[in-house]
Amino acid sequence: MRIGMGYDVHRLVEGRDLIIGGVRIPHETGLLGHSDADVLVHAIMDALIGALGKGDIGKHFPDTDERFRGADSMGLLAHVSEMLEADGYRVTNIDCVIIAQKPKMAPFIPRMKARVAEVLGMDESDINIKATTEEGLGFTGALLGISSQAVALIEKVR
């Protein structure tokens, strides 16, 4: 068994879609980034890559590479899943949190879980996604951005 942790943060701006966990969420602002800026999926990818001991998402999907401009993070997650399989690992558990003052995430979490589980070939019951605010404190509380943290457990299967 190996464990990895991930963290990601993106600034909220006008004129961008808000995509979290592969789900488009209606909101007046979206997250700024080189790809679709999906903070939840980025944190999950970082945790999985960390568990493999292969650096971080910036190493594998640099924001200086035009191939990743506007990339769908679910496609990048599929690539991370292929990395796991190639190294003989499978994901056994993911626990993550989205830190956002607004919008409320709870209505979208079931679809997020389903999307992540599908891409990683996991049972939804092995993925936990929760959300919290920072009660008006910090950059997330001031509606300047959204962050996410994830922990992932992987096991060798061959």
> Which residue numbers belong to the known binding site?
8-10, 34-35, 42, 56-58, 61-65, 100-106, 132-135, 139
Location of structure tokens 């919008």: 103
Nearest alpha-carbon partner for 101 in 7, 8, 12, 3: 12
Question: Which residues define the annotated binding site for a divalent metal cation?
Answer: 8, 10, 42
Looking only at the bridges linking them, the beta strands covering 2-13 and 145-156 are antiparallel
Residue 111, exposed/middle/buried by CB under 10 A (0-12, 13-18, 19+)? Answer: middle
